[in-house]
Amino acid sequence: MLARGTAAAPILFTGPVEVFGWYGIVLDDAPSPGSYLTNVRIENVQTALAVWTSANHPVVIDSAVFRNNGAAAWLYAADSRISHTRVDTTVYGDPAVRVAGQNRTIESLLIRGTLGKGLAVDSRTVQVLSCEIRDSGGDGIQLSDDSTVVHNCNLVNNGGVGISVADASYTANVENNWWGDAAGPTGPNGDGVGASLDYTTWRTSPYTLPYVP
């Protein structure tokens, strides 16, 4: 699938604003070189994921907006990427964005107002860079491997902790993030952090994200 709009004229994927809405985009074969969703708007997928990919279907999502969906994007294939993207409001308790597999990059991603977790990372080779996750109903980010790194992200006012881990022994590097408090994740207004994570040192002011639509 090749959906390439422009900043001035993004491609809109939408459906009726109602309980059943529509069923989103499913990418389930093994294309070469993969799919591209750039400068797109995907909204009102009330009963499902806005974008779901199988383990053999890489996709690049860039300069996208997800709004009012069950969840935004679950990416399972190696070499998939999501960047310069905004996720507003999800109505599922599942993570708004989930990534698994190898060699993934998450960069300049803004997630806010999700019913459940903001981001779930199920891979050891993922880098989460210059992102913001705020006002989630659950944890901001959940990590399932201690090799994942999270840097220069803003984690603010999430219902759970800013970054959690699936195993209490994981010691992933989550330094240089803003936790909503100059005193770090354990400060009076800090977003909280999994006890085993390496979060020292932290940012003492918010990170300014690169372009997000």
Q: How confident is the model at residue 40 (pLDDT cuts 50, 70, 90)?
A: very high
What separation in angstroms does the CA of 179 have from each of 154, 156, 170, 186, 203? 6, 6, 19, 9, 8
- The pLDDT assigned to 91 comes to 87
Residue 89 has pLDDT above 90, yes or no: no
pLDDT for residue 19: 60
In this structure, the strands spanning 81-90 and 105-114 are: parallel
More confident residue, 195 or 24: 24
Residue 196 has pLDDT above 80, yes or no: yes
Distance CA 87, CA 85 (A): 7
Closest CA to 40 of 69, 22, 65, 14: 65
Alpha carbons 143 and 67: distance in angstroms, whole number: 24
- Confidence (pLDDT) at 18: 67
Q: Is the model more confident about 122 or about 38?
A: 38
Grade residue 20 by pLDDT with cuts at 50, 70 and 90: low
Q: What is the pLDDT of residues 141-195, one digit of tens each?
A: 999 877 789 999 999 999 999 999 988 777 889 999 999 999 999 999 999 999 8
Helices then strands, each counted (H, E), the chain: 0, 19
What is the Cα–Cα distance from 2 to 59, expressed in whole angstroms?
A: 10
Over residues 102-143, the pLDDT tens digits come to 767 899 999 999 999 999 998 878 899 999 999 999 999 999
Q: What percent of the chain has pLDDT over 90?
A: 73
Domains and CATH numbers, the chain: 2-165 (2.160.20)
Total-model pTM:
0.94
Q: How far is CA 86 from the centre of its chain?
A: 9
